[in-house]
Amino acid sequence: VITMSNNHMLDKGIDGLIATMNYWDNMRAKNDITVVGAYRDQEDMENIRIREVNGVKIAWLAYSEMADLYFSVSYPRRLQASEDEPGISPYVESAIIEDIEAVRDQADVVILTLHWGVEYNYTPETYQQMAAKKYIDAGADIILGHHPHCIQGIETYNGGLIVYSMGNFIFDQEWSQQTMEGIALKLEVSPLGWKSARIYPVLITAGQPDIVSGDAGASIMDRVIDISATFGTQFQEDPDSLLVVAP
């Protein structure tokens, strides 16, 4: 599953977005890849994607806070999909809750990917923390955040898992340690929700994200522990990874 709901999807204009969507449509036929977050029109955006894996039905929802931005002065249209134009899905709290509630009975697991938050800030904003809990209460199981270009804390709440920001992965901002760091997650889910979440430290070197160990990996894992402490999140530490301890 690939999410394309972010504020760079119109960097090459509508033609670039359509070419990208056409590419992934072809890949879907060959490799069973599902794309969320960018849609051909309003009707397509309202068609929630559900993938069944080993008998578990997983609903994928994706939204971006930046969808209402204009692409450029010379090309004055918003990034979000409209009734007859392609684009990304906008972040609207009430609409997200409606989507979660609409798909909750159709899927075993509901996963949100949210392009949100403040760049280069290790702490999620208060509105994010409040909204994330609303989404979990509405029926979401897992929230995966991105956009800040750095890692943010991890929280467990009411049976749900909230990863506020996974940091950078393919965004090769190698001008600071903060923006070279990220995390990869190995999630195990069942019809009852998420069962385990293991975190692997990622470091971008020469434009390539690598899962790292040793001192480099330990430094990133220590950061995850430190910035998650405010949420009371507990981890089981292994030499090369962290296991989130479910409450």
Mean pLDDT of 141-167: 93
- Residue 29 is predicted with a pLDDT of 75
Pick the more confident residue, 177 or 196: 196
Residue 175 pLDDT class (50, 70, 90 cuts): confident
pLDDT > 70 in the chain, percent? 96
Spatial CA neighbour of 37 closest among 10, 13, 12, 60? 60
What are the C-alpha distances in Å from 119 to residues 42, 135, 202, 212, 231?
29, 22, 18, 24, 20
Q: What is the pTM of this model?
A: 0.91
Please determine, for residue 187, whether its predicted confidence score (pLDDT) is greater than 90: yes
Side chain identity at 18, as an amino acid letter? I
Question: Are residues 61 and 103 in contact, defined by beta-carbon separation less than 8 angstroms?
Answer: yes
Q: Using CA atoms, how far apart are residues 196 and 217, in angstroms rounded to an integer?
A: 20
CB atoms within 10 A of CB 156: 20
| pLDDT of amino acid 40 | 86
The Cα–Cα gap between 81 and 93 comes to 17
The predicted-structure confidence for 192-241, as pLDDT tens digits, reads as follows: 889 999 999 999 888 889 999 998 899 999 999 999 999 999 999 998 99
**pLDDT, tens digit, 9 for 90 and up, residues 104-122:** 999 999 999 999 998 788 8
| Dist. CA 69–CA 80, nearest whole Å | 8
Structure tokens of 140? 């979401």
Q: Give the per-residue pLDDT at 72.
A: 64
Model confidence pLDDT, tens digit, residues 46-77? 888 999 999 999 999 999 987 676 666 666 66
Q: What are the start-end ranges of the H helices in 32-176?
A: 42-45, 93-103, 126-138
Secondary structure class of 11 (helix, strand, coil): coil
Q: What is the mean pLDDT of residues 141-164?
A: 93
- d(CA 154, CA 133) in angstroms, rounded, equals 13
Structure tokens at 169: 């992965």
How confident is the model at residue 70, as a pLDDT?
66
Look at the alpha carbons of 23, 92, 172, 242 in this order and tell me if their dihedral is positive or negative. Answer: negative
pLDDT the model gives residue 136: 97
Cα 96 from Cα 90, distance rounded (Å): 9
pLDDT at position 211 is 92
